[in-house]
Structure 1
Amino acid sequence: MSKNIIRKSRRIETIDIAKAITIFCVILGHTTGNLDAPMFRRVLYAFHMPLFFFLAGLSIKPKAVQGFRGWGAFLYKNVLALMAPYFVWGLVYAPFSYPDMGALFYGSWEALNRMETLTSLWYLPCFFISRVLVQIVVNIAGYAKVKNMPLWCGICALPLLAAGLLLPHGENGVLWCADIALAAGGFILLGIAVRKSCLVMAQQKTLWLILSFIGSLLLFCAGTVFRGEGLALSLMCKSDYGNRLWFLYNSVFGSLAVLTVSMLISRLSRESARPFKIDAVTCIGRQTMGIYLLHKPFLQQVILPALSGIFPGDFPFLAIALMGSILALLFSIAMCYIIGKFIPQLLGRFPRNEWAKG
């Protein structure tokens, strides 16, 4: 096997591990109510949603879309992958009524909350809009014949982040979370910008990765845990970032901590004195969409009430939350396998047709 192939495999593995860690953080964060703010939830929400968008950027190979047919295929692919599951699951999780359809089409967290459906679905229209924004940025670079695409993406990320963080959100949110999508697009562009640097970083020696992880974790803790009650709950779904500078700081170093530990796990699984398999972890990373769609109702309505009935009232809630998150993860993976085998369209997986290939 060539060196290039090894590097490519390792890079994909690292991203899958990072996605697995991130989706577990999402599940753990959902063990409390929407507005509850225990310390562990404030720490998780300081970085985990920006990290999702950043990892999407690491997975994208930027390429300009050509002409009407190219844009049609791009939009068609993303509508099927993101918007089709959004509308289907939005109706699955809420009793149907015509007034609610307006809220579903509006697509903000606030609208979904009024509809009493799965509020986590805000992520899908937001991601759709952010992907379109990122593709526009990439196309502009193509038309301008920009030679350094990563640098161009990094520069363009800054105004998108600024706009997303500073624009007013409104009581009902914004259609399809378009304001949040600006910030999300900024994080995706940052992922594209540092993709090559991450490839280089993943090839560093184990000791260097350990030191990088410890350093980034300490810097992240300085912005979260060590601040104590000064750490506000950041809710990207509502464009509520608290102190925006601290939000950006924690997003960067929280993401870096997850990335470096993912690189370290990948390296140790292959090159340690006793190599070990991480297929289960990377499998979780490949199923994040399905896990994201499936875990929350089962976690909050079945698992947590059952665990709360088993353990006494003075039992540490964080321990219950961790156990519940693991059970919800296992349930979601099993459901992803069943749905993926029989109705993959529910998870945004559609067979390619000729137009999509174009």
Structure 2
Amino acid sequence: MNVSSNPAAAAGTPVPPAARIRFIDVTRGISILLVVFGHSHLRQYLPWLDNLVHQFRVPLFVFLAGLFASSSQPWWTFLRRKSRALLSPYFFTLGGMFALALLFSPQAVGPRLAGIFWGTGQTLDIPPMWFLPHLWLLYGLAYWILKYTPWRTWRGVVCALALLAVTPAVFNVTADLHVITTTDGRMSRGLPFSLDLLPVTLVFFLLGNACRQAVMAFRVAHWWWPALAIGVLLISVQLFGSQVDLNERVFTPVLVAAMAATAGIYLMLACAHTLNHWPWTSRFLTYCGTNSLFILIFHAPIEMKIHGLLTRLLPVHDLALALLAILAGILGSLLLRNIIVRIPLLSWFYPSTIARRAQGS
């Protein structure tokens, strides 16, 4: 999600040892695969797992984005780099789809164009891409907070709790703020670029930044810490009815949902710490993590098209079709990455490929 495959270097912060960067990329790989699972047909067969993953999927993504955030660069340099890293692929990809739509369904031009600039999950042809402009907003706001506020003090904790406390009130308003009707007749939710999600995402973004050193030195001290995290997650969902779906503006009960998300983040860090010691798994997850931008953008349309095609061609069980389709979504996205990196014009709009190519990847 950053300009470079090395997120610390992209943020202008000191580069930790390579093994620690690999651990972060493994965690990011797990995170993006959870995103793929949440948008796949496979989740219909594992609703209990889908419900658990929903508790921390987006908070984990945001937490990892905040790890290496920095305000050390001049503002305009920072803004230019983040705009190119996040908004260039967003507008190029959706703009290309808009151009194709002009050829095949010109009657839907208005809703599609408005949806791109509104930028929420319901208004986009590729719903997961709402995260890119929202992350751009998040980085911009966090820059000023990191630079000018005493956010690491007790005042920062109070402000974080206050932000979480106002989340239900904000969502009560924006969940029913239907400004745009999409091409398939759905009504949009939320503010442009999901601005109304900031009370939640900003808290986990800054939490990631505050935990940078702890994450870089992360290890599982004892088996009962992950067990405790699993317990908190299960109790939050089963006993207190925690529900998290930020795309639908659901984060309730707010403190319970925050605890569930934090427990899920710790659990995924523990999983990454273990998997990082398994060479083949570590390599695959690292590759997914360093190319998470491409998986985020392309997995959903590929998975949907492949699933529809396989349904017509193969007389096999729906579960097998779902597994094949999700695998195609992941591998197809990585294949597109390897095509894009070799075409200078395309790679300019996906700047992460430039940095990785310069590093010889």
TM-score normalized by structure 1?
0.77
Percent sequence identity is: 21
Change (3 A) 1:261 1:155: farther
Higher deviation after alignment, 91-100 or 249-258: 91-100
* Deviation, structure 1 residue 347: 2.6
CA contact (8 A) 2:347 2:354 kept: no
Q: Work out the CA distance in 2 between the residues paired with 1:295 and 1:322.
A: 13
Match of 2:200 among 147, 172, 183: 183
Tell me whether 302-311 or 168-177 shows the greater mean CA deviation.
302-311
Aligned to 1:255: 265
For residues 339 and 249 of structure 1, do their structure 2 counterparts lie closer, same or farther at Cα, with a shift above 3 Å needed?
same
Q: 1:111 to 1:252 in 2, by over 3 A?
A: same
2: CA distance, partners of 1:26 / 1:120: 8
Q: What residue is the counterpart of 2:7 in the other structure?
A: none
Q: How does 1:1-358 map to 2 (within 5 A)?
A: 8-32=17-41, 38-60=47-69, 62-65=70-73, 70-94=74-98, 95-96=101-102, 97-98=109-110, 100-112=112-124, 117-141=125-149, 149=152, 156-167=159-170, 168-169=173-174, 170-172=177-179, 173-202=190-219, 208=222, 210-224=223-237, 226=238, 230=241, 232=243, 234-266=244-276, 268-269=277-278, 278-303=282-307, 305-306=309-310, 310=314, 312=316, 315=317, 317=319, 320-342=321-343, 343-349=346-352
Figure out how many residues of one structure are paired with residues of the other and give that number.
318
Specify whether residues 214 and 107 from structure 1 end up closer, same or farther in structure 2 by C-alpha distance, changes over 3 A only.
same
Contact 1:295–1:331, Cα closer than 8 Å, also in 2: yes
Unaligned runs of 5+ in 2: 1-13, 103-108, 180-189, 356-361
Q: CA deviation at 1:351?
A: 6.3
User: Deviation at 1:55?
Assistant: 0.7
Amino acid at match of 1:100: R
CA shift in 2, pair 1:153/1:41, >3 Å: same
SS in 1 for 2:261: helix
Q: Distance in 1 between matches of 2:48 and 2:281?
A: 33
Residue 74 to residue 152, structure 1, CA distance change in 2 (3 Å)? farther
3-state SS in 2 of match to 1:85:
helix
Contiguous gaps of at least 5 residues in structure 1: 270-274, 353-358
CA distance in 1, matches of 2:270, 2:342: 33
Q: Could you tell me whether the CA contact under 8 Å between 1:64 and 1:138 is conserved in 2?
A: no
CA offset digits 1:50-75 (Å, max 9, x no partner): 10000111233x3345xxxx211111
Distance 2:62 2:47 in 1: 24
Partner of 1:133: helix, strand, or coil? helix
Rounded to whole Å, the distance in 2 between the matches of 1:37 and 1:177 is 28
Decide which moves more: 150-159 or 98-107. 150-159
1:160: how far off?
A: 3.8
1:341 aligns to what SS in structure 2? coil
Letter in 2 for 1:179: D
* Normalised TM-score (structure 2): 0.76
Q: Which amino acid aligns with 1:29?
A: G
Maintained 8 Å contact 2:63/2:205: yes
**1:278-299 deviations in whole A, cap 9, x for unaligned?**
2222111100011100110110
